Amino acid sequence: MAQPGDPRRLYRLVQEGRLRALQEELQAAGGCPGPAGDTLLHCAARHGHRDVLAYLAEAWGMDIEATNRDYKRPLHEAASMGHRDCVRYLLGRGAAVDCLKKADWTPLMMACTRKNLGVIQELVEHGANPLLKNKDGWNSFHIASREGDPLILQYLLTVCPDAWKTESKIRRTPLHTAAMHGHLEAVKVLLKRCQYEPDYGDNCGVTPLMDAIQCGHIDVARLLLDEHGEGHTSTIQTLLSLGADINSKDEKNRSALHLACAGQHLACAKFLLQSGLKDSEDVTGTLAQQLPRRADVLQGSGHSAMT
């Protein structure tokens, strides 16, 4: 059984938010042990116990800038777990808003891994810089694009209009990331408020459209095609050369041919047919050949191969 003052018991009391019991334990022990990893402040911030956090910082004078083995500070913990009251308290006591943990992650970057606009606003209003990058070249806007919350993206673009002008060390943009993860509403925001080049490729030549198609996000791919127009036959060629399955379908049993026909992309439809893709019904029983709005879209494009 853990004895009074035992670090394991102290951490359990902090985790459970039992402030009175913690006060008694610390007073009996004559202070707080100094664990090599997380401090009690880290634990309180991680679990969102502002009262415990305040007691430890004020009554015992614990260092709010203490770091653990990953160089995380209590502010990183509070931000990553979405505890706005703890974030506000730590910032109010002078915590460094853009402190770095291992791999150069700031508290704002950590907050952007969660869909918690309030915490992000708190950090930005206290001076957090959305343009800082981690070791992989991602800034906070890039990280937010991976999570795909359109309100957070809109907010970051409002407070920092140039946040979208970024790419990772392998030249991937926030649009690549949002498309790969299938965040349709996020992609809409990026296309409306940012000026991404239609065929911007990463170090491997992969474009956002390729990411969307390879990951089966047909709605996102259709949006990118509609936004950027035709001329994506070369994209399809590249995908096939990279080993993409021409016969792959999404959850609605739609093929790439459905996408091309629905978007009225004659060149793409023709290339897919010439590459051996056969028409088939989606879950509603609709064939790709039924989707073109113009009668001439499939003329001369191998229409007979579709039936």
Over the stretch 118-171, which tens digit does the pLDDT of each residue have?
999 999 999 999 999 999 999 999 999 999 999 999 999 999 999 999 999 999
Tell me the mean pLDDT in the region 177-194: 96
The CA-CA-CA angle for residues 171, 173, 176, to 5°, reads 110
In degrees rounded to 5, what are phi and psi of residue 42? Answer: -55, -45
Q: Are 245 and 272 in contact (CB under 8 A)?
A: no
Which stretch, 20-34, 43-57, 197-211, 267-281, has highest mean pLDDT? 43-57
pLDDT of 305 higher than 50: no
pLDDT at 273: 82
Burial label, 94 (beta-carbon count in 10 A; 0-12, 13-18, 19+): exposed
pLDDT at 10: 72
Listed in order, the ranges of the chain carrying CATH 1.25.40.20 are 1-101, 230-307
At 277, which amino acid appears?
A: L
Round to whole Å and give the CA distance between 78 and 44. Answer: 9
pLDDT at 67: 93
Q: Are 75 and 91 in contact (CB under 8 A)?
A: yes
Question: pLDDT grade, residue 89 (50/70/90)?
Answer: very high
Name the DSSP letter for residue 279: P
pLDDT at 243: 66
Q: Pick the residue with more confidence: 146 or 9?
A: 146
Tokens of 126: 């206290």
| 3-class SS of residue 271 | helix
The CA-CA-CA angle for residues 249, 250, 256, to 5°, reads 50
CATH 1.25.40.20 fits domain 230-307: yes
Tokens 């051996």: give the residue.
Answer: 276
115 — alpha (psi -120 to 50), left (phi > 0) or beta?
beta
CA distances from 154 to 2, 151, 158, 189, 249 (A): 50, 5, 6, 7, 32
Round to whole Å and give the CA distance between 274 and 271. Answer: 5
pLDDT at 3: 44
Percent helix, percent strand, percent coil in the chain, to nearest 5: 50, 0, 50
Q: Are 229 and 260 in contact (CB under 8 A)?
A: no
pLDDT at 234: 66
The CA-CA-CA angle for residues 82, 87, 90, to 5°, reads 155
Superfamily for domain range 1-101 = Ankyrin repeat-containing domain (1.25.40.20)
Q: What is the mean pLDDT of the chain?
A: 84
Contacts of 192 (CB under 8 A, 6+ apart): none
CA distances from 82 to 48, 120, 160, 169 (A): 8, 9, 21, 28
pLDDT of 231 higher than 70: no
pLDDT at 232: 63
Q: What is the pTM of this model?
A: 0.72
pLDDT at 214: 81
Of 24-38, 174-188, 276-290, give the lowest mean pLDDT range: 24-38
Tell me the mean pLDDT in the region 57-63: 89
pLDDT of 24 higher than 60: yes
Round to whole Å and give the CA distance between 120 and 101. Answer: 17
Round to whole Å and give the CA distance between 74 and 95. Answer: 9
Q: Pick the residue with more confidence: 241 or 122?
A: 122
